[in-house]
């Protein structure tokens, strides 16, 4: 924990805008009831699933461990709004979250956040930059902490990013203490009310390349870390009456270190991304040498973790790491990875059939997909590549385009088309509604077909990149490096 970097985030233009009136009116509750709307929660889950279906090609979710009390879900934060959305999608209960203040007050995203019951935080960096004074920040943050605390004590899951920011490093940054503080106070309230104690729930979020469209995702869970109530006389009563009270600092620090240690195990926890990609490559080479293969992204993540553990115990890891890192850099520079290897050589066959299927499916779906979703997709691409939020926000725009299309764009289009097909009248209204619903479903089905065609074309494009690399000088160098890796596998 002491080695974790403590770098304050660069403030975006959105974070510099403090909308006090909206923050003051934001729903909150200190009785343990969820401040969000249960009706909109179901709608949000539905459209969130559509957005995630569009941006991810393959998704794997491990089953969350059983636990009776509320949980504080925690993960590394690399991928903007995609991170919390992926975590919410993996849960079986309503979730309450906290985040940067402007995410609760900005247009559209703020509307959704408020109905999800999300709570605002004014960070130290925003106070230091004059966005808010300390008194107002303390008022908002204490209100948020008490809302989160009571919800967790009542059995709801809370979603937090303990680093307090999104970043692009391959290892955890230093944790903020907020999640531990409200977890401990939630344990006090739960004990006072005779409810099950809460726990910290480490969540492993793994993306093949988090800023790529149609990447792969794997979500895993460590065992929950139970949180015991501090033995502070009168604290449960004061907390239950609505007064925020700081838990003992030594317990906060101990809990923070336990969470950091547990979460580190299921994050890349690498010196840099080049090293992490090298671990994945070594995992592929080991499997190939054993006449096997890594069948899924989950297999790759676990294989890389095994390599990480073995290298930490090795006395001469550089002889294996140096060629692995260089080889991984060559592959990544061509948008390739260890899946491009067959044995110790590159796959060279071009997937022409996939190209034909891809073009056919995209052409088949285009008349529906482009008018219904094409504008949103173009804006997502355009804004994602030009945002001041950093590369971690790139897929956030892709996700939001997919998430909001079913509620903002498809229904008006479906209604217009239904009215054109069935002229409006009192007797025709039920048929118009039914037809509009069918059209919305057909738009989604068309988009799925289009994306499958896009995936097929991507497979062909990848095979062409492999063939081009194989015939180049870099390709020859890559084969030499892979052979060096193979020779030094005995160092593991």
287-315 pLDDT, tens digit per residue, is 999 999 999 999 999 999 999 999 887 66
Q: Are residues 293 and 261 in the same domain?
A: no
25-36 pLDDT, tens digit per residue, is 888 888 889 998
Q: Are residues 111 and 191 in the same domain?
A: yes
Is residue 475 in a domain?
A: no
Query: In total, how many domains does the chain have?
Result: 2
Q: Beta 225-226 vs 95-100: how paired, if at all?
A: unpaired
Q: Is residue 55 a contact partner of residue 403, using CB atoms and an 8 Å limit?
A: no
pLDDT of 250: 95
Nearest one of 455, 465, 375, 359 to 413, comparing CA atoms: 375
Is residue 172 in a domain?
A: yes
Please report where in the chains the tokens 């676990």 appear, as a residue.
Answer: 302
Nearest one of 86, 307, 99, 265 to 172, comparing CA atoms: 265
pLDDT of 49: 94
Q: Are residues 260 and 194 in the same domain?
A: yes
Give the end of a domain, one of 349, 367, 389.
Answer: 349
Sorted by sequence, the CB contacts under 8 Å of residue 119 that are 6+ apart come out as 26, 28, 35, 96, 97, 98, 99, 104, 143, 144, 147, 148
Q: Are residues 280 and 257 in the same domain?
A: no
Q: Are residues 330 and 248 in the same domain?
A: no
Is 91 a residue whose pLDDT tops 70? yes
Q: Are residues 336 and 249 in the same domain?
A: no
Q: How far apart are CA 55 and CA 447, in angstroms?
A: 12
Q: Are residues 106 and 184 in the same domain?
A: yes
Look at 404 and 359; give whichever has higher pLDDT: 359
Q: What is the mean pLDDT of the chain?
A: 91
Q: Are residues 100 and 59 in the same domain?
A: yes
Is residue 380 in a domain?
A: no
pLDDT of 10: 58
Is residue 114 in a domain?
A: yes
Distance spanning both ends of the chain, measured CA to CA: 26
Q: How confident is the model at residue 14 (pLDDT cuts 50, 70, 90)?
A: low
Is residue 491 in a domain?
A: no
Give the end of a domain, one of 349, 364, 392.
Answer: 349
Q: Is residue 338 a contact partner of residue 280, using CB atoms and an 8 Å limit?
A: yes
Q: Which two tokens stand for residue 115?
A: 């109905």
Is residue 464 in a domain?
A: no
Q: Are residues 282 and 256 in the same domain?
A: no
Give the end of a domain, one of 242, 265, 288.
Answer: 265
Q: Which two tokens stand for residue 292?
A: 């096997």
pLDDT of 19: 85
Q: How far apart are CA 150 and CA 182, in angstroms?
A: 9
Q: Are residues 84 and 184 in the same domain?
A: yes
Is residue 414 in a domain?
A: no
pLDDT of 457: 98
Burial class (CB in 10 A: 0-12, 13-18, 19+), 92: exposed
- Percent of the chain whose pLDDT exceeds 70: 96
Angle ∠(446,451,456) on CA atoms, nearest 5: 125
61-81 pLDDT, tens digit per residue, is 999 999 999 999 999 999 988
Q: How far apart are CA 68 and CA 194, in angstroms?
A: 13
Radius of gyration of the chain (CA): 25
Is 469 a residue whose pLDDT tops 70? yes
Is residue 9 in a domain?
A: no
Q: How far apart are CA 219 and CA 89, in angstroms?
A: 10
Alpha helices (H) along 352-428: 352-369, 375-384, 394-404, 410-421
Q: Are residues 186 and 294 in the same domain?
A: no
pLDDT of 450: 98
Q: Are residues 221 and 304 in the same domain?
A: no
Q: How far apart are CA 149 and CA 183, in angstroms?
A: 7
344-358 pLDDT, tens digit per residue, is 899 999 999 999 999
Q: Which two tokens stand for residue 476?
A: 């020859």
Q: How far apart are CA 431 and CA 321, in angstroms?
A: 65
Please report where in the chains the tokens 């000088």 appear, as a residue.
Answer: 473
Length of the chain equals 492
CATH of the domain at 115: 3.40.1130.10
pLDDT of 122: 86
Q: How far apart are CA 489 and CA 317, in angstroms?
A: 10
Whole-model pTM: value is: 0.89
pLDDT of 165: 84
Which range marks the domain in which residue 197 is found?
20-265
């Amino acid at each position: 924990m002491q080695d974790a970097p403590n770098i304050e985030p660069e403030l975006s233009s959105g974070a510099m805008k403090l909308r006090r009136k909206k923050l003051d009116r934001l729903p909150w509750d200190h009785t343990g009831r969820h401040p969000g709307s249960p009706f909109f929660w179901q709608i949000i889950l539905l459209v969130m699933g559509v957005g995630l279906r569009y941006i991810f090609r393959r998704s794997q979710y491990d089953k969350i461990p059983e636990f009776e009390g509320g949980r504080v879900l925690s993960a590394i934060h690399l991928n903007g709004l995609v991170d919390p959305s992926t975590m919410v999608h993996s849960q079986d209960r309503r979730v309450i979250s906290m985040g940067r203040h402007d995410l609760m007050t900005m247009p559209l995203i703020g509307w959704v956040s408020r109905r999800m019951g999300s709570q605002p935080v004014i960070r130290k960096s925003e106070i230091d930059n004059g966005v808010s004074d300390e008194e107002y920040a303390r008022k908002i943050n204490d209100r948020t902490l008490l809302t989160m605390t009571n919800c967790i004590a009542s059995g709801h899951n809370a979603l937090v990013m303990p680093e307090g920011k999104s970043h692009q490093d391959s290892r955890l940054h230093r944790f903020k203490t907020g999640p531990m503080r409200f977890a401990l106070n939630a344990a006090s309230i739960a004990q006072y009310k005779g409810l099950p104690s809460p726990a910290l729930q480490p969540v492993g979020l793994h993306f093949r390349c988090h800023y790529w469209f149609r990447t792969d995702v794997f979500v895993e869970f460590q065992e929950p870390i139970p949180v015991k109530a501090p033995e502070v006389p009168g604290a449960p009563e004061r907390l239950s009456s609505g007064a925020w009270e700081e838990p003992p600092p030594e317990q906060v620090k101990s809990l923070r270190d336990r969470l950091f240690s547990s979460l580190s195990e299921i994050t890349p926890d690498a010196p840099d991304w080049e090293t992490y990609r090298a671990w994945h490559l070594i995992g592929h080479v080991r499997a190939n040498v054993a006449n096997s293969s890594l069948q899924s992204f989950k297999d790759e993540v676990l294989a890389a973790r095994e390599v990480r553990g073995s290298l930490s115990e090795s006395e001469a890891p550089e002889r294996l790491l140096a060629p692995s890192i260089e080889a991984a850099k060559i592959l990544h520079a061509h948008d390739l990875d260890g899946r491009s290897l067959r044995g110790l050589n590159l796959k060279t066959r071009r997937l022409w059939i996939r190209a034909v299927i891809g073009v056919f499916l995209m052409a088949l779906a285009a008349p529906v997909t482009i008018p219904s979703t094409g504008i949103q997709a173009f804006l997502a691409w355009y804004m994602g590549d030009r945002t001041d939020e950093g590369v971690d926000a790139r897929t956030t725009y892709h996700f939001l385009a997919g998430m909001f299309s079913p509620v903002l764009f498809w229904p008006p289009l479906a209604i217009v088309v239904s009215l054109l097909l069935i002229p409006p009248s009192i007797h025709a209204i039920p048929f118009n509604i039914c037809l509009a619903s069918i059209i919305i479903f057909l738009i989604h089905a068309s988009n799925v077909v289009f994306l499958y065609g896009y995936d097929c074309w991507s497979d062909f494009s990848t095979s062409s990149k492999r063939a081009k690399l194989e015939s180049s000088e870099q390709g020859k160098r890559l084969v030499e490096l892979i052979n060096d890796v193979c020779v030094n596998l005995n160092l593991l």
